[in-house]
Structure 1
Amino acid sequence: MRLGENPFSDSAIANLVKTKSDNGILHVLTRESATKEFKETFMWGSIGLYARTMAAFANSRGGYILFGIEDKPRVAVGLTGKSKINFDDLDQAKLTESLNQLFSPEIHWTLGLIELAGGLTLGAIYTFESDDKPLVATKNYQQQNAKILEGDILYRYNSRSQRIKFPELKRLLDDAKLREQRAMMSHIETLVRAGASNAAVLDFSENILKGPNGQTVLIDEGLLDQISFIKEGEFDEVAGAPTLKLVGDLQPATAITLGENRIVRTALSSDDVLGDFLIRQNVGNPEQYIRQAAAGTTGYLPVQFYRVLARLSHDELYAYVAEVATRSPAKKRLLERLSTASDMKVSPPLADSPHPSTVERRRFYDQLVTGGAGEIEIVTASEAQHFLVSIKSLEDEQIHADVGGVLELMKMCFDVYYATDSKVADALRRASCRVDSAMFGSA
């Protein structure tokens, strides 16, 4: 299972642990495997042992550590007593820090609970398969029966976590080499299509764009509004229009810091418009943010916040957007939203709906209404999407009451899931428009 998928969905855990009841004893028919390890209790003192297993899972196919299952015989007892308290009180930030101190690259994991027959509950830590194998131990570690040596590469063999053997290590290294070669070939193919004399190389290590003869390529600021930035495969020819062809995503973020905690970005992207809104950045060029919202790739970006910073009325905002010279469909959508005074609000999720997505959204909605954003924990991309959709059901005064907490969680979704999950990205943009309207929509 890859990062972003939900390891605790109904389909994922449906057959995870098979049991059979016999005279009130719940026997576990499932055995430990390459993706499952059983523990009777959860103790912080055994974190080193869990870390070994998690690193082994990350280097292989991912897997679950399940707490609440006795060994010999395998009997489900569930999380009880001190073990349950320890699991419930697990400091996720502390565990993440401990893992990062032991292994590199980062281990991605999440917590969950699994209900069994008879009302028993298992605790579970799921470790995602790494996209950047192999994970390597970065220092020596000794704790009770957990021993890790610097340079160790751990791997999951059937029901055991141990140092990797040569065949598996060779395969991991070959896979990493193949990924690198594919990435390089993609760049070479692009270069061949463009022609060496027409291509430049962007060196991210030095932040320099170099031409074929070593010259540095600069774009005058006065030309930016005249150039159509397009991605390969999205070309729409207009005679005479100067066009800069980009391969991949351009993310300019050059900023000049002014007084009073203000910044001016000299090159803007739609992501800057969204990201700076989520931290309510006091920008020094709000009109350019509005322009980018109209000329970008989506019609759903917050603009009322920047209207307030620019000291524009609603009518002045509409007129400003209408005058932006662009063929982007985002302008039309934005003007439609402004002309209808759309606040992006939707009805609350139905409380009695059996649909899993609606149930998740209702859960987040109820948490926001009753306990506030501080009670909410998001550990998967799916949960992030449902949380963001639930925001659109809040009344204006409910958003006002806890806007700081709501925006903090939204910023976390932006940092963790926005770049890798299109559903989260769309939900985040729309939720931002809802919060933007509630907080700054009054002209």
Structure 2
Amino acid sequence: MEDFEIAVNPKGHLTKRESFDLEFKQSFHYGDSLHTYVRSLVGMANNRGGRIVFGIQDHPRVPIGLTNDKFDKLDPTKLNAVILEYFSSDISYSIDSFDWKGKSFGILSVKEARVKPIICRKGQGKILRPGAIYYRYRGETKEIMYPELSAILDNEREKEKRLWMDHIQKIGSVGPSQVHILDTATGEMDVGPSTVLIDSSVVDKLKFIREGHFVESDAAPALKLVGDVSGVLEADRVIYAESAYPYTATHVQAECGINNYELQAFDWKYKIKGNVKYHTIVSTGRTSKINKYSKATIDLIRNEVRKNPDIVAKIKKAYSRSRKKG
């Protein structure tokens, strides 16, 4: 997405208008305002992507800049919590800021969703309605209308049809016995009795060429990759794609009905953090990082609670004793 540039007319008014991919806000706030911002971002993701620019006066549209540092201190986990709690899937967004004539402005940008539509799954006052699909129209975000929803569904069906046709053609060209399945969520590819682990950078790109063949030796089987990625990944080095960890701590708590302290207790008991099956750390900026969890974490906690309804209290008690002992 191209950088946003401020251009004003002789009166000092912004020359750009709000559109399907552009929204202006005079200031940035927390609380229910976060739900409003997320609704706009989701609406843009359901269209072709877009951005919200903070620091633009409402009437007239004058670039006045932000008057405090609330936007600069925005923690991505707060937005992530709203997105994952209230909507059916995550969105790809970024947080940026820029200066113009000594004034500071903020931007929330979002890319077009790869899979549409993103659906609201939980209500929030008059801002969000369960089951609603929000869509960015010219100058406003509102619930989607039939023509746009029909176009999205038709496009998704066409994308799926093209993918199936591509798969079938590739299988036909090489033969079913030469085709192996790559799980892009875990980075695992089954090859007969063996499992190959693909580097996350390769999994995320999904553009690689297999060269050579598997060799059996004293070491583990290896797969050589060429193209813009070249190297060997041994089977004892497991690297998972970021897509395998879609949940934040807040979302895990909401899904499992536990609080933050109880999640810490489960982490201590089952050594969740540091185990690639359950957890990873994702960078969200130059210095900021957040904890992300796989669905296996939610399944683990739910299964343990299902087997023993008193497990939460017991683990909390043991965790508390452990902390007191240092």
Question: TM-score normalised to the size of structure 2?
Answer: 0.59
Aligned match of 1:106 in 65, 70, 90?
Answer: 90
* Other-structure match for 1:312: none
Distance 2:3 2:98 in 1: 8
Query: Is contact 2:86–2:120 with CA below 8 Å preserved after alignment?
Result: yes
With over 3 angstroms needed to count, the CA separation of the structure-2 counterparts of 1:71 and 1:100, relative to structure 1, is same
After TM superposition, the structure 1 = structure 2 runs for residues 48-197 of structure 1, keeping only pairs within 5 Å, are: 48-81=35-68, 85-116=69-100, 118-142=101-125, 146-190=126-170, 192-193=172-173
1:104 is paired with a residue of what secondary structure? coil
Greater helix fraction, Structure 1 or Structure 2: 1
Query: Is contact 2:56–2:65 with CA below 8 Å preserved after alignment?
Result: yes
Query: Is contact 1:35–1:57 with CA below 8 Å preserved after alignment?
Result: yes
Distance 1:59 1:88 in 2: 27
* Other-structure match for 1:17: 6
Query: Is contact 2:47–2:135 with CA below 8 Å preserved after alignment?
Result: yes
Query: Is contact 2:182–2:188 with CA below 8 Å preserved after alignment?
Result: no
With over 3 angstroms needed to count, the CA separation of the structure-2 counterparts of 1:246 and 1:151, relative to structure 1, is same
Indicate the RMSD between aligned Cα atoms, in angstroms. 3.7
Query: Is contact 1:270–1:297 with CA below 8 Å preserved after alignment?
Result: no
* Other-structure match for 1:360: none
With over 3 angstroms needed to count, the CA separation of the structure-2 counterparts of 1:274 and 1:41, relative to structure 1, is closer
Query: Is contact 2:84–2:90 with CA below 8 Å preserved after alignment?
Result: yes
Amino acid of the structure 2 residue aligned with 1:27: H
Aligned match of 1:288 in 219, 226, 236?
Answer: 219
Query: Is contact 2:118–2:133 with CA below 8 Å preserved after alignment?
Result: yes
Displacement of 1:174: 0.3
**Percent identity over paired residues:** 27
Amino acid of the structure 1 residue aligned with 2:7: K
Displacement of 1:29: 1.7
Distance 1:182 1:31 in 2: 37
1:245 aligns with 2:171: no
Deviations 1:102-153 (A, max 9, x none): 111212211011332x2222101001110101111011111xxx52111101
Query: Is contact 2:87–2:121 with CA below 8 Å preserved after alignment?
Result: yes
* Other-structure match for 2:307: none
Where do 5+ consecutive residues of structure 2 fail to align? 204-216, 238-281, 293-326
Aligned match of 1:32 in 7, 13, 18?
Answer: 18
Distance 1:148 1:124 in 2: 22
Query: Is contact 1:269–1:296 with CA below 8 Å preserved after alignment?
Result: no
Distance 1:137 1:378 in 2: 24
With over 3 angstroms needed to count, the CA separation of the structure-2 counterparts of 1:288 and 1:34, relative to structure 1, is same
* Other-structure match for 2:199: 271
Displacement of 1:245: 2.0
1:100 is paired with a residue of what secondary structure? helix
With over 3 angstroms needed to count, the CA separation of the structure-2 counterparts of 1:252 and 1:18, relative to structure 1, is same
Amino acid of the structure 2 residue aligned with 1:110: S
Distance 2:91 2:149 in 1: 18
2:84 is paired with a residue of what secondary structure? helix
Displacement of 1:17: 3.1
Task: Decide which structure has the larger Cα Rg and report it.
Answer: 1
Deviations 1:207-232 (A, max 9, x none): xxxxxxxxxxxxxxxxxxxxxxxxxx
Distance 1:155 1:90 in 2: 25
Deviations 1:273-311 (A, max 9, x none): 999xxxxxxxxxx9635x62xx522554588x99xxxxx
Question: TM-score normalised to the size of structure 1?
Answer: 0.44
Distance 1:43 1:164 in 2: 26
With over 3 angstroms needed to count, the CA separation of the structure-2 counterparts of 1:184 and 1:253, relative to structure 1, is closer
